[in-house]
Chain A
Amino acid sequence: MSPVLEWGSTISLYMLLVSMALAFVRVIRGPSLPDRIIALDLIASVVVGILCIHAIRSDEYVYLTAGIALALIAFIGTVALALFIRRGAPH
């Protein structure tokens, strides 16, 4: 792996780590339930990004398939939680 690629992927991984931590702060602090749902959705996107960078670092493209599955599950979960709110959830 070229040094540029290695440095770039390392920096990207650290940035994704920071964004995951910030989204987790929003999950804990969020004043309402939809805030927490959006933050969890963002965390799922961050995990897909981490998977893709790991695919580059380890030269294994199989991780992309896991990324597809994770994105699907995140979307289904978000939609289910939104429907749950509309039915009337405890605040």
Chain B
Amino acid sequence: MLLSAIGLVKMPDLFTRMHAATKVGTVGVSGIVLAVAVHFEQMKVAAPALLIIVFFLATAPIAAHMIGRAAYEMGVELWKGTVIDEWKKQKKSESPPPPG
């Protein structure tokens, strides 16, 4: 989690910051919750712990995807070292918008 927060402050643009926050944050919380499950050694504790882990694993990519898409459409600037931007190329190639 500390690494995640450091990445959140240090990274150059929004999209790399998002990588740091979502992936490392998920693994950090999963580790802590797993520690709780091991500490109590009871099934009634391990079940909610597994539920939290599964929930984080399921929702963090969805949230990151939605925020990334919204930010790109909003026009947030990419980092100047970004080498590939496939969405822009794709939009330029199909300049007459497809029907529907």
Chain A contacts to B: CB under 8 angstroms: 5, 12, 15-16, 18-23, 25-26, 32-35, 37-39, 41-42, 45-46, 48-49, 52-53, 55-56, 61, 64-65, 67-68, 71-72, 75, 78-79, 81-83, 85-86, 89, 91
Determine whether the beta carbon of B2 is less than 8 Å from that of A32.
Answer: no
- Interface code B1-45, partner A: CB below 8 Å = 1, 0 otherwise? 110111011000010011001100110110011011001101011
Task: Please name all residues of chain B whose beta carbon is closer than 8 Å to the beta carbon of A46 when the two chains form the complex.
Answer: 1, 5
Task: Name the B residues within 8 Å of A91 (CB-CB).
Answer: 74
- What band does the interface of chain B fall in when counting residues whose beta carbon is under 8 Å from A? 35 or more
Q: Which A residues are CB-close (under 8 A) to B78?
A: none
Chain A interface mostly: helix
Q: Which of B5, B21, B67 has the most chain A CB within a 10 Å cutoff?
A: B5
A85 and B70 within 8 A (CB): yes
Out of B17, B32, B48, B64, which one reaches A35, CB within 8 Å? B17
Neighbouring B residues of A65 by C-beta, 8 Å: 48
Does the CB pair B21–A42 fall under 8 Å? Answer: yes
Q: Which residues of B contact A68 (CB under 8 A)?
A: 48, 51-52, 55
A61 to B66, CA, bound (A): 33
Residues of B within 8 A of A (CB): 1-2, 4-6, 8-9, 14, 17-18, 21-22, 25-26, 28-29, 32-33, 35-36, 39-40, 42, 44-45, 48-49, 51-52, 55-56, 59, 62-64, 66-71, 73-74, 76
